Homo-oligomer: A and B are copies of this chain.
Amino acid sequence: MKQLLLMLLLAPCLLFAQDQAKYVCPPCGPCDTIIFHKPGKCPHCGMKLMKKDTAEKRMSVCFLLYDDIEILDFAGPLEVFTDAGFQVFTVAKEKKPVIAQGVLKVLPDYSLADAPPADMLAVFGGNAGPTAEDPEVIAWIKSRDKNTDRYFTVCTGAFILGNAGLLDNQTATTYHGQIDNLRKKLPRTKVLDNVRYVDNGRIITTAGISAGIDGALHIVAKLKGEEEALRVARVMEYDKYVPNQGLVVKK
């Protein structure tokens, strides 16, 4: 009898606590700041809402490496994301050293076979052709799509993501010397030149090599706020960072 009385007394508090659960859409644009009080889909971007606490967890990023990858392509964003507190790990087709730009030997953390899921997949340029044309790598990217919230490419990394079908009906950019080739390769993609990065919401592509730094800072600004991006740029003494220097595609 006492227990029943206690439950009756606590019921309004429990209901109130349930009411307090907050939901947000995964970071993608202006609708990120809207707080919802029920699960479901964001009426603005259509993405599945997630609990606000979950959204604030540490962002994990999978860096896909391969032989003859361009050094600054991946090292610039690696510096930015690490400074911003993201959790980065590296993956290569096999778990043996890759040689970046013919010079730097990097040991990947994982192979395609044992790489854990990540919130974001990042792919980079350099001699991207063999990786873009590798059916095993492309199948691996596609197989992880359902668990990947967002994608980031630098330079000719766009060819890899494009071959996985992820740039279809998207706006994208790539290395200045490969703009025409990407247009030919991906007829369903609007390929822009003279732009530092292009943000489609879920998929962000950047121009060549050093543009990866600006694209990564844009992602930090998008996910953690412009103040955090400016803080990271200051840490890196990257006084040359210009916020909003790329194109954010309006849907």
0/1 per residue, A210-226, Cβ < 8 Å to B? 11010000000000000
Name A's B-contacting residues (CB within 8 A): 70-72, 75-76, 78-79, 82, 88-90, 97, 101-109, 175-176, 207-211, 213, 235-238, 240
| Chain B residue contacts of A71, Cβ below 8 A | 75, 78-79, 82
| Nearest CB of B to A124, in Å | 12
| A235–B213 CA distance with the chains assembled, in angstroms | 15
| A22–B72 CA distance with the chains assembled, in angstroms | 38
| Cβ–Cβ contact B236 & A72, under 8 A | yes
| Nearest CB of B to A83, in Å | 9
| A236–B62 CA distance with the chains assembled, in angstroms | 23
| A104–B89 CA distance with the chains assembled, in angstroms | 8
| Cβ–Cβ contact B76 & A104, under 8 A | no
Closest residue on chain B to residue A89 by CB atoms: B103
| A239–B237 CA distance with the chains assembled, in angstroms | 17
| A212–B177 CA distance with the chains assembled, in angstroms | 25
| Cβ–Cβ contact B103 & A106, under 8 A | no
| A237–B212 CA distance with the chains assembled, in angstroms | 10
Closest residue on chain B to residue A70 by CB atoms: B79
Closest residue on chain B to residue A105 by CB atoms: B107
| Chain B residue contacts of A103, Cβ below 8 A | 78, 82, 88-90
A/B interface sample: 9 pairs, CB < 8 A: A72-B79, A75-B76, A75-B104, A82-B102, A88-B103, A104-B106, A207-B237, A208-B235, A210-B237
Partner of A90, one of B78, B104, B211: B104
| Chain B residue contacts of A211, Cβ below 8 A | 237
Closest residue on chain B to residue A81 by CB atoms: B103
| A76–B79 CA distance with the chains assembled, in angstroms | 10
| A82–B99 CA distance with the chains assembled, in angstroms | 13
| Nearest CB of B to A212, in Å | 9
| Nearest CB of B to A62, in Å | 12
| Chain B residue contacts of A107, Cβ below 8 A | 97, 105-107
